[in-house]
Chain A
Amino acid sequence: MTAVLDRPRATAGVVRLTVGRLLRLELRRNAMLLLVPLVIAMFWFDTYRSSMELPAIWPTRLLYVQQGRPLVDFAPFVAGAAAWTGSRDGRRSTAEQVATTPLPRWAARLSSWAALAIWALGAYVLCLGLLLGATAAQSPTGPLPWWPVLVGALGVLAFSALGFTAGVVFPSRFAVPLVAIAVLLILVLTQYPITHNATYGLLAPTNLMGSAGPQAGVFSPFLPDLSITQILFLAGLTVFALGAMGLRERGGGAMATGFAALVTVVGLAVTGYGVKLAGTAQVTANGVVISAVHSASDDGPVSTARVCQGSPVQVCVSPVYRSYLPDLDTALQPLLTEVAGLPGAPTKAEQVVFPYHGDAVYTVSSLQGSPAVLDLGLNIGADGSTCFVTGPKSSTCSSVSDLWKNASLVKTVVLPHTAQTVLDSLVGGDGTQARQAVVDGLLTASGVTLTDPTAQSQLPPGAPRVFNPEVQVMGPTPGSPVAVAATRFAALPQSERYAWLSSHLSALRAGQLTTADLP
């Protein structure tokens, strides 16, 4: 009698022991083991090399991680290996034989999946650890955004579970490669066509709109709202896939089927909740806000501390970007010297967050407050490359992150539109010919090369196409009264220009002067 009463406890113990032994066996003989060197190589080739080319600033260095690139390197192979493992019984036609063993098939399959997930996750942690370690060795600045790293880990788990279940359901030799290709296709498609989808499309870890950008967490706290939603979505998918696998098993009894159904429903519910949350997302300059998971403490600025340099007007940047300050100051001082002290001129130039998802390529600028402060958003650290006209018959190409290390290119990308913003606000832009001439004269005096509107192209034959209309400022038609007056004004000594502006700025703004009145 005692033996009969003790049987359930003994059976449970045996099952636990068997599951543990099975897990150990699966860990030693797992398909993912074969692919670990490959995924590490893919990560090195794609994410690691690309990331290490970006500046050693944490959110910048992890820009590709934010964009889900590690998942593109991992997921096809993890899903393929999972499908391979999941389809094992079906491919070998051993499903009926193993179904008679005491261990429920769902538990056995969960052991197989767990072993695969451990290897896949281990490889992911190793790769990210290498990237973070190499970055840490370069004394990086800025806050480290952990959330996208977690999303990637959940993505690896979700694709392993989905791939495994696909293998169980379709135990064909073709299921494995098709799962791998399908995963790659999904990740690529979600990266681009729905890039500008600001709600449900954000659920894809590779969605570019979901990436907070290279300045995430520098000017305001990193918003984890989207990451939390993505984690819910991916965790839900994982649970759903594992539960659905249990629903296919026969012979486990009503209890086991009921439990599998419960797990499946919970997974579906969590996935659905993630989808619902994504539907309420709002993309802001600081990241994605999802009100249901948003914390009010994430709304304030991180720190208003700035490091400054320059005279007569100080140029200030976040301490994270301290190394870029000298070049920025050199680029802006010719302009700031021209206008310093004039009514409405900026008293300070201060770095603000660059709108990563906006239309601007290099910089945004605006004058705020009284006394006026020049707000500068600088696209430091974003990916991509661009080409510049550097002379009448020459051009140069540079990655967007590299150009901020080149003093002449910093001037090329920052000065033109910043100068236009300042001078349009100060003088009044295109209102009258006199104003236009003064603005053009000051632009020239500040070092901005005005584009001849009659010239077709300054590019030499065969040179790369120009992708930087943002750095071009259209000048007056050569020989026109505005051009003549602007040239005359620009040729004056700086002190004479400044003295004339000081005494005539009000009249110029009021439209009371003509080009003939300009010195």
Chain B
Amino acid sequence: MSSSTLNERSALRDQAQRHGLGARLTWLHLVSRQVPAALAIMAALAVVLNIGARLNWYSGDGALVQQVPVLLEAGAVVVIAVSTRSPFGEVELANGRLLPGLRLGTVLALTAAAMGLMAAGMIGVHLPDGGAALARNTAGMTGIGLITATILGGAMAWVGPVAYAAITEYALSASWQSPLIWAARPPHDRGAVLCAAAVFVVGVVLITVRGPRNTVRE
């Protein structure tokens, strides 16, 4: 066996180990953020969305038609926001060079999962404003949750989306039309989509670069 063949094999083994380590690191990161539990909760919320439609929780033409779906979307969003909390605190910051990438990937994957699962919750039932509004509302509120996480910390990141959901409930009752309350606008309203997208981008950038705030309380 020539030395070049040995070197080749060694390089391949190193590469495989690196891949294995990368996958393991990703998995450990996801587990530390309790992503499997988050996905299970989102799936449960999607089921509630479906059952709610069948029980006429949001049928008719009142404000409730939009309020209930928005609250369930907010439920999925708070799960994403709270999942940003690191159980390791500053220790992780000192060692994790790949951390921003992992945070970005986790947040994007969870947001996509929330949209997908909630969309799956619409199967066989009618959701007012459809999937486009669902995606817009979920993305926008996720942005709020991520911004809150960078300000208050991952554990308290739910406060922002819950406050926004409560304000949206009021806005829907009062027939507000501001694009900042995107859920109150039609699904393809450009201003509302831009606002929600901007907030989402800001939230994702902040959580990627800065991460959730580490507080003593946590």
Residues of A within 8 A of B (CB): 31, 34-35, 38, 42, 45-46, 72-73, 76-77, 80, 84, 172-174, 176-178, 180-182, 184-185, 188-189, 192-193
A-B complex: 9 closest residue pairs judged by Cβ atoms: A177-B158, A177-B78, A192-B64, A181-B75, A185-B71, A180-B162, A46-B170, A173-B82, A177-B82
The answer to whether A185 touches B41 (Cβ under 8 A) is no
B75's closest neighbor in chain A, by CB?
A181
When C-beta atoms are compared, the residue in chain A nearest to B34 turns out to be: A173
Asked whether B34 lies within 8 Å of A174 as measured between CB atoms, the reply is: yes
B165 at the A interface (CB under 8 A): yes
- B158/A184 in contact, CB under 8 A: no
Chain B residues with a Cβ closer than 8 Å to the other chain, count: 37
Q: A188 contacts B34, CB within 8 Å?
A: no
Residue contact B67 to A188, C-beta cutoff 8 Å: yes
Q: At the interface, yes or no: B68 with Cβ under 8 Å from chain A?
A: yes
Most buried by A among B34, B63, B75, B83: B75
B62 within 8 A of A: yes
Interface string of B149-167 (1 = CB under 8 A from A): 0001011111101110111
Which of A31, A38, A73, A176 is in CB contact (< 8 Å) with B82?
Answer: A176
Q: Kindly state whether residue B115 has any CB partner on chain A within 8 Å.
A: no
Q: Mark B27-60, 1 if CB is under 8 A from A, else 0.
A: 0000000100110010000000000000011000
Instruction: Name B81's closest neighbour in chain A (CB-CB).
Output: A177
Smallest Cβ distance from B118 to chain A, in angstroms? 14
Q: In the assembled complex, which residues on chain B have CB atoms less than 8 Å from the CB atom of A80? A: 158-159, 162
- Is the Cβ of B166 less than 8 Å from the Cβ of A193? no
- Contact A189:B75 (CB < 8 A) given known A174-B41, A174-B82, A177-B82: no
Mask: chain B, 72-96; 1 = CB below 8 Å from A; 0 = not = 1011001101110100000000000
Given the interface pairs A84-B155, A174-B79, A180-B158, the reply to whether A45 lies near B170 with Cβ below 8 Å is yes
- Chain B residue nearest in CB terms to A192: B64
How far, in Å, is B160 (CB) from chain A's closest CB?
Answer: 10
Given A174-B38, A177-B81, the answer on whether A184 and B155 have CB atoms closer than 8 Å is no
Interface residue from A38, A72, A189 paired with B68 (Cβ < 8 Å): A189
When distances are taken between beta carbons in the complex, the residues of chain A under 8 Å from B82 are: 173-174, 176-177
Residue of B nearest to A75 (CB): B166
- Name the one of B68, B156, B166 contacting A73, with C-beta atoms under 8 angstroms: B166
Q: Besides A174-B34, A189-B64, A192-B62, 12 other CB < 8 A contacts?
A: A38-B163, A46-B166, A80-B159, A80-B162, A173-B154, A174-B37, A174-B82, A176-B155, A177-B78, A177-B162, A180-B78, A184-B74
Question: What are 28 of the A-B contact pairs (CB < 8 Å)?
Answer: A34-B156, A38-B159, A42-B163, A46-B170, A72-B166, A72-B169, A76-B162, A80-B158, A172-B34, A174-B37, A174-B79, A174-B82, A174-B83, A176-B155, A177-B79, A177-B157, A177-B162, A178-B79, A181-B71, A184-B162, A184-B165, A185-B68, A185-B71, A188-B64, A189-B57, A189-B64, A189-B68, A192-B62
- When distances are taken between beta carbons in the complex, the residues of chain A under 8 Å from B78 are 177-178, 180-181
CB distance from A94 to the nearest CB of B (A): 14
**Chain B residue at smallest Cβ distance from A39:** B163
Q: For residue B78, which residue of chain A has the nearest CB?
A: A177
A193-B159 contact given A72-B169, A172-B37, A188-B64, CB 8 Å threshold:
no
CB-based nearest A residue for B174: A50
Closest to A181 in B: B75
What B residues does A174 contact at CB under 8 A?
Answer: 34, 37-38, 41, 79, 82-83
Closest to B154 in A: A173
Query: Which residue from chain B places its CB closest to the CB of A176 in the assembled complex?
Result: B158
CB-nearest residue of chain A to B63: A192
In chain A, what residue has the closest Cβ to B79?
A: A174
Residues in B neighbouring A31, C-beta threshold 8 A:
217
Name the distance in Å between A175's Cβ and chain B's nearest Cβ: 10
Question: Whole-angstrom distance from the CB of A171 to the nearest CB of chain B?
Answer: 12
Are the C-beta atoms of A193 and B162 separated by less than 8 Å? no
Among B37, B78, B152, the most chain A Cβ lie within 10 Å of the Cβ of: B78
- Alpha-carbon separation in the docked complex, A172 to B165 (Å): 22
Say how far A188's CB is from chain B's closest CB, in angstroms.
5
- Say whether B75 contacts A178, CB under 8 Å: yes
B53 to chain A: closest CB distance in Å? Answer: 13
Q: Which residues of A contact B68 (CB under 8 A)?
A: 185, 188-189
Interfacial chain B residues near A178, Cβ < 8 Å: 41, 75, 78-79
Contacts of B64 in A (CB 8 A): 188-189, 192-193
Q: Which residues of A contact B165 (CB under 8 A)?
A: 181, 184
Asked whether A193 and B74 contact (CB < 8 A) given A176-B158, A177-B162, the answer is no
Cα(A177)–Cα(B71), bound, Å: 12
In the complex, the chain A residue whose C-beta lies closest to that of B73 is A181
Alpha-carbon distance A119/B162, docked complex (angstroms): 20
**Chain A residue nearest in CB terms to B157:** A177
| List of A residues within 8 angstroms of B155 by Cβ | 84, 173, 176
Instruction: Give A385 to B163 CA distance when docked, in angstroms.
Output: 25
| Chain B residues within an 8 Å CB radius of A77 | 159, 162-163
Report the nearest B residue to A35, measured CB to CB: B159
Contact present for A188 and B71 (CB under 8 Å): yes
Interface string of B6-20 (1 = CB under 8 A from A): 000000000000000
Selected contact of A193 from candidates B57, B75, B157, B158, CB within 8 Å: B57
